[in-house]
Structure 1
Amino acid sequence: MQGALAAESHEQGRTLCVRFNQTGGCFACGTEAGIRVYNCDPFKETIRRNFGVSQSRAGRGHSQGSADQAGGLCTFGGIGIVEMLFRSNLFAIVGGGDFPAFPTEKVLVWDDHQCKWIGELGFHSKVLGVRLRRDKIVVALKNKIFIYNFEDLKQLQQLESVDNPFGLCALSSQQDKAVLVCPGLQVGQIRIEHLDHRRSNFINQAHTSSLACLALSLDGNLVASASEKGTLIRIWRTAPKETTGEFLEQELRRGSDRAQIYSVAFSPSNTYLAATSSKGTVHIWPVVPAQSPNESPSTVWRRLVPDYFNSKWSLAQYRLGDESTSACSFGSKENVLVIVTASGKFHKIQFDLSEGGECRKISFQKFNS
């Protein structure tokens, strides 16, 4: 298999991706040299694995990785996607960066306890997203979503999608509820796949422009979505209400100017939702179930006024200090949030549940050295 486990090295180069595990208790980074895994509470590096591959540097400019100066060869390999399976020793890994450790058309399964590769999936185009649960692995390509049985990597299902350049897909982690959410067949459409029942729901015109972010709650009952405009985040039910058939629960406003939503996370009890964006800010909202039309006297008024007035502004905010790609996850407490950035910064913050406002920084670490 291409790529061998290299000697431990502090030369990790750029961070190419950051990703929390399913419960938010730890996170993994893909770098130009391999993978790193960190515990959130307390903050601590727990795994460092570098994957080496020799590639010529001729005409490629300066490289941050370790290199054989005499032969002009780089001896490191980049990881563009790393997905953890809870706190187990299993990882799904895809090559990335200027010098990928492995072909970007492959998903490799790494067993860190045995320090060896135990599975491989190959495709005809670049892998853009991977999600894991204990019984399934989901792989997103530009226009397809593949679903496999995790134990033997047997293909279970294949879905078509509209162009999906971010590899968007979200997979519930609860054992008794297998829900997959991904872009549908039209721009702005959300597909909700109930995998155990082979039943699909489509939310048409969830957004008027292409989807840029999708996230599921831990129980698989709610999904949050944002479009490439990045001004609104909408919360939907994964099953329609029995009384109305409606999916929409709530509409949240990040701001009025465009931004890329990097990540969205629900708190464990679905009481709060947080989002990070290219503006270098974090916003937190309370999640309030939508009223039925019969209970809301303002229903007619809401149809007449612009969305700007219908959407809810954030309760609490925090500034990260940089605009690099970021991911967020709630901690064990409802009012504690953890944010990690591709620039190598770890933020743990706390917000006031009733007053909101500016969040308080609990701890801060740099981890890209």
Structure 2
Amino acid sequence: MQGGDHGGDQGRTLFVRFNQTGGCFACGTEAGIRVYNCDPFKETIRRNFGVAQGRAGALQSQGGGGNGKGHGGGGVCAFGGIGMVEMLFRSNLFAIVGGGEFPAFPTEKVLIWDDHQCKWIGELGFHSRVLGVRLRRDKIVVALKNKIFIYNFEDLKQLQQLESVDNPLGLCALSSQQDKAVLVCPGLQVGQIRIEHLDHRRSNFINGAHTSNLACVALSLDGSLVASASEKGTLVRIWRTTPRENTGEYLEQELRRGSDRAQIYSIAFSPSNAYLAATSSKGTVHIWPIISSQHDASQTLTTVWKRFVPDYFNSKWSLAQYRLGDDSTSACSFGTKENTLVVITSSGKFHKVCFDLAEGGECKKISYISFSS
């Protein structure tokens, strides 16, 4: 199957996600996939996947560009939808899941696409819909509604299977650092976070991380910190992935997005773990400084006062903010400089902004590009 039709209408954007370092991002559309470099902004890959409509009404995917021949005497549709695409850094390898009204592939499968060879090199099948996929150089993680599967990337051999509470968003986060393989996902109870140290087959559970279902989780690049938000969306909490030796506690910091409910779409740590950003259904981006409790002189007092003062006053408000102008699904990632942030939306908008590290306030727009056409 050959890929490479660089023309034609890609249709509606179904999915947007940064790669592990935030230097580029991939989109799943109603026709295939697109990949963009962030700095400078540039489309680098466009692959369309045609869909053959068989006589029995079953959809069968054809090669990139939609040039494959139909099966069972059926014709070939102009496009096939991609509901999920996960990049492996800047390599030629992608994990792809069908999606949209006319999926290019069954939504119960994860296919591995080698864009250099323009061919499929692997496939994982399941009995229910795939809700999340994460990659690192040595592992593939697949999230279903109540299960998390971990595979060896080289031979697709299953390494582990984890149970989870209902996880309709397919939440999971996987560290990218080679010497620290950490997986974070919902635990076995509502609001519980599971931290799996894959190299050591060791599990840690943060009980009562939130009182309601998790809505978003994210790991720092070095795998030392995890951020989480619940479906309420008013708070983002930062946790250690290993407990403190002296207290056994995981909580590092509590950040406040606002007082109204909202869905947190994405959370991102800066490369140095000095800042954290989050986007939400309010169409806003919030940025906070991260202060390790090990260096926070007021930590002891804060711990005491938390017994008496409501969470509203304990949590830290954002340093800087930015308004996207729409409430479509969005993702954020820090740029090459500590004070720059890139935000992409499923409405096909690219925002690059900067903020004052000392004063904060409203972010300054550096560039704005529409990539939906």
TM-score normalized with structure 2 length: 0.92
Identity of aligned residues (%): 84
1:186 is aligned to 189
TM-score normalized with structure 1 length: 0.93
Q: C-alpha root-mean-square deviation of aligned residues, in Å?
A: 2.0
Instruction: Note closer, same or farther for the CA distance 1:113–1:72 as it changes in structure 2 (3 Å cut).
Output: closer
Contact 2:50/2:76, CA 8 A, preserved across alignment: no
2:350 is aligned to 346
2:303 partner letter: T
Q: Once structures 1 and 2 are overlaid, which stretch shifts more, 337-346 or 301-310?
A: 301-310
1:29 is aligned to 27
Instruction: Note closer, same or farther for the CA distance 1:6–1:85 as it changes in structure 2 (3 Å cut).
Output: closer
2:328 is aligned to 324
State the shift of 1:7 in Å.
Answer: 3.7
1:240 is aligned to 243
State the shift of 1:297 in Å.
Answer: 2.8
2:226 corresponds to which of 212, 223, 226:
223
In the comparison of the two structures, how many residue pairs are matched?
A: 357
Contact 2:181/2:197, CA 8 A, preserved across alignment: yes
In structure 2, C-alpha distance between the alignment counterparts of 1:198 and 1:116, rounded to whole Å:
34
Give ranges in structure 1 of 5+ residues lacking alignment.
Answer: 57-65
2:335 partner letter: G
1:114-150: CA deviation from partner (whole Å, max 9, x where unpaired): 0000000000000000000000000000000000000
In structure 1, C-alpha distance between the alignment counterparts of 2:44 and 2:234, rounded to whole Å:
37
2:369 corresponds to which of 351, 365, 369:
365
State the shift of 1:73 in Å.
Answer: 6.4
Instruction: Note closer, same or farther for the CA distance 1:47–1:73 as it changes in structure 2 (3 Å cut).
Output: closer
Instruction: Note closer, same or farther for the CA distance 1:117–1:241 as it changes in structure 2 (3 Å cut).
Output: same
In structure 2, C-alpha distance between the alignment counterparts of 1:195 and 1:140, rounded to whole Å:
16
1:278-316: CA deviation from partner (whole Å, max 9, x where unpaired): 000000000011258996234322211110010000000
2:12 partner letter: R
Give ranges in structure 2 of 5+ residues lacking alignment.
Answer: 55-65, 67-73
2:62 is aligned to none
1:207 is aligned to 210
1:72-112: CA deviation from partner (whole Å, max 9, x where unpaired): 96321000000000000000000000000000000000000
1:221-241: CA deviation from partner (whole Å, max 9, x where unpaired): 000000000000000000000
In structure 1, C-alpha distance between the alignment counterparts of 2:105 and 2:328, rounded to whole Å:
25
2:329 partner letter: T
1:115 partner letter: C
In structure 1, C-alpha distance between the alignment counterparts of 2:182 and 2:162, rounded to whole Å:
14
In structure 1, C-alpha distance between the alignment counterparts of 2:287 and 2:213, rounded to whole Å:
23
- 1:118-137 matches, within 5 Å, as 118-137=121-140
In structure 2, C-alpha distance between the alignment counterparts of 1:4 and 1:114, rounded to whole Å:
9
Instruction: Note closer, same or farther for the CA distance 1:298–1:236 as it changes in structure 2 (3 Å cut).
Output: closer
2:95 corresponds to which of 82, 92, 97:
92
In structure 2, C-alpha distance between the alignment counterparts of 1:295 and 1:79, rounded to whole Å:
46
3-state SS in 1 of match to 2:150: strand
- 1:1-369 matches, within 5 Å, as 5=3, 7-55=5-53, 74-291=77-294, 296-369=300-373
Contact 2:2/2:118, CA 8 A, preserved across alignment: no
3-state SS in 1 of match to 2:306: helix
2:337 partner letter: K
1:61 is aligned to none
